[in-house]
Amino acid sequence: MTSILDKSAPPLVALTDISKSYGNVRALRDVSLEVHAGEITCVLGDNGAGKSTLIKIIAGLHPHDSGRYAVAGEQVRHASPRDALDRGIATVYQDLAVVPLMPVWRNFFLGSEPTRGRGPLRRLDVGEMRRTTHAALLRMGIDLRDVDQPIGTLSGGERQCVAIARAVHFGARVLVLDEPTAALGVKQSGMVLKYVAAARDAGLGVVLITHNPHHAYLVGDRFVLLKRGTMSGSHLKRDITLDELTREMAGGSELDELTHELSRTPAADGPAAGDPPAAGAEAATDPETRA
């Protein structure tokens, strides 16, 4: 039996030359990536780079037009998000799709509630859901004060962590995270990245979608850079530094041109910024002197 961390095993997910168009708009063209067990693949790009389309294809929301999509070495074509979920691919979107006024345990089991009893006596097993939610969160290192509190009272980082723990509990093999730190401060972003790393250490393959190269470099093993629907780079962490990753994401030569345009250049026939005024200049501008 192969270990979930066996590097000789085929990738959990492999996309090869994936393309997608919406009418005349080419959203993705020849994009490839691999997701391995126990690794984090980061997909970086600015708005409009094609990250959202890529998520929808991986999650089974939209079919790809061309290219190859393989799960554990087997070529697939998902008809719906349920197909992807049945193959162990769980997607946590930025808006999280939680019910704010429901307790944490109810959101944890939303759509998968265990019951007990039969027929007219059948009812939700609330005690089991409370215990399981608390235990599943603890396994991920999340110690909530009370799983009965409405999930809307949690911070954005805590809600992201609950969503990650839920995916792990329900048997996800691949976890796709859509900009999990986009709306968070520094401290909460660090908390979320800690639990993303915990999911990786539990043997999951993680796809982290982000526009922040600093967050990506903290946890990532592989980096795929998108620009206007095409790949502008694909690197292993050992082959690229944070500065190089940031520069490549920012556009390289385009960034140099912008830096040159924005830099201050002293006027050819005047003093440079910060130079002391020429002799007599104060006198020329003083009203009493002019008088």
Give the model confidence (pLDDT) of 33-63 as tens digits.
999 999 999 999 888 889 999 999 999 999 9
Could you tell me if 231 and 45 are in contact, meaning their C-beta atoms sit under 8 angstroms apart?
Answer: no
Domains recognised in the chain with CATH numbers: 13-101+173-253 (3.40.50.300)
Could you tell me if 47 and 211 are in contact, meaning their C-beta atoms sit under 8 angstroms apart?
Answer: yes
**Strand 13-22 to strand 25-35: parallel, antiparallel, or no bridges (unpaired)?**
antiparallel
Which tens digits make up the pLDDT trace of 164-215?
999 889 889 999 999 988 878 888 889 899 999 999 998 999 999 998 999 9
What is the pLDDT confidence band of residue 271, given thresholds at 50, 70 and 90? low
**Strand 13-22 to strand 66-71: parallel, antiparallel, or no bridges (unpaired)?**
antiparallel
